[in-house]
Structure 1
């Protein structure tokens, strides 16, 4: 384990600065696995996955906003790793071009809270910010990315797209059916509210395809519904 990953694991276990479940990824991903990080931001998860899969594995890191988190992107260096492939696109239900709505604070863009404006209704959870700017990006689908990359396996998928998780899944239907990857998904009602679906719709889409949802409680345990005090959920094929 690298020093950076050791620090990240410690922060995720004992502070609120990082996802509490980050340190659990080591039990879900093995050397040689192929992973997809949707909404990779500065690359923290991509870096962690890169270390876990090793030289025999591969991580596809997806982040449409190249100007987000410049300092931490350099420090983490995920995109420079030999087993990481970066894709500067957004992923959704259909390909095309659309605007990423980027909220701004007084000190600059809060790119980690940006979201794909297509099919959204208003600002939702980013209404608190002083202003927003639209950045037009290319939009693809998981199915198209998998086909273009020529993937013959996909073992693990992480999705964090500020409420658009169901749209990403809609664009991944063939991939999910073919590979049955484990999926680590952020689901928050405050984010999904800007779209025409609820957290329950995300869960229903996956359970209808034979997945079981788990939440972290000193171990991954089955969960029936999304909890207001939990953000990240693991889905595994039954």
Structure 2
């Protein structure tokens, strides 16, 4: 079985590639332009094929997906702030790139495309927890691009008969998440500061809550989605809420550095 992972050298994609490559009879191919991913993220001697390239290249997508059975579409220009700074680039990569993947998958007769969406499509909903039936309210170019990707997946499923499923990730954390990125998520940023003996910086009163999801659970969800007949949109989350202040306190305790104070910027 041949599996293609776009963005497979990134945080989530590389964890997914590692697990899929361990299964017998799986041929795993990773396509990544290395704009945020790293070849070093891919396990050594895993047999994973690596192709450096962008999902914005339709010809490349046609070539790579020609004999694919399943496609995990993880590639994207990540980050809300980055999309605000350069919405045109976010549109090109996240919307045009997704369309390229879907067209190539359709033409190749791929069995299923598993699309990485985001909880950001919900926006600031007054009612929690977020449920799939809620009306999306994207508040950034990034969230818009992810929602458009979902709509394209639905259209290709309904119109062209290409099986697709969209997974809305909630605040993923875990191994290979880059704490040094300008757009690093809160957990690696907090951990990195605490290990340097610096206090975690909290903006606001710290009572805002998030649902954090371990990357291995996200990997398992992707594999379940591949093996399932299900299509449509699904939340991928832990189902547990924690405030940012509680998170920072927990990290200082688990690292044995409770003496470090929290900086709260209101």
Q: What TM-score results when the alignment is normalised by the length of structure 2?
A: 0.41
User: Structure 1 or 2: larger helix share?
Assistant: 2
Rg bigger for which structure? 2
Higher-strand-fraction structure: 1
Tell me the TM-score normalised to structure 1 length.
0.45
